[in-house]
């Protein structure tokens, strides 16, 4: 397996999983919000790795937005699971 295909797999597989997990009758915008939040958390981390390997393009500075998005979306998901699911 080529070294550049692993980030592509890490990026695309969750989108396929989210598409298959969509229940019939749910609005399409729910799927797109999940895909967009996943991309906002994943793409900066992939950019950090790629730019570090390339030696140009920001390098590890991309880790900050990736971690901020990851922790923000994890907090929102935790809130929904702990508080709003009981309503």
CA pair distance 22, 15, nearest whole angstrom = 11
- The reported pTM is 0.70
Residues spanned by the domain of 30: 5-86
What three-state secondary structure class fits 62? helix
pLDDT digits (tens, 9 = 90+) for 41-54: 888 888 888 888 88
Tally the residues of the chain: 87
pLDDT digits (tens, 9 = 90+) for 11-39: 788 888 888 887 788 888 888 888 888 88
* Residue 41 and residue 73 in contact, taking contact as beta carbons nearer than 8 Å: yes
The structure tokens 């971690």 sit at 67
Number of domains in the chain: 1
């Amino acid at each position: 397996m080529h070294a550049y295909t692993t980030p592509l797999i890490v990026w695309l597989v969750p989108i396929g999983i989210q598409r298959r997990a969509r229940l019939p009758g749910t609005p399409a915008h729910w799927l797109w919000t999940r895909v967009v939040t996943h991309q906002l958390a994943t793409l900066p981390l992939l950019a950090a790795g790629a730019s570090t390997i390339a030696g140009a393009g920001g390098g590890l500075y991309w880790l900050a937005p990736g971690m901020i998005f990851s922790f923000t979306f994890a907090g929102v998901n935790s809130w929904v699971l702990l508080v709003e699911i009981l309503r």
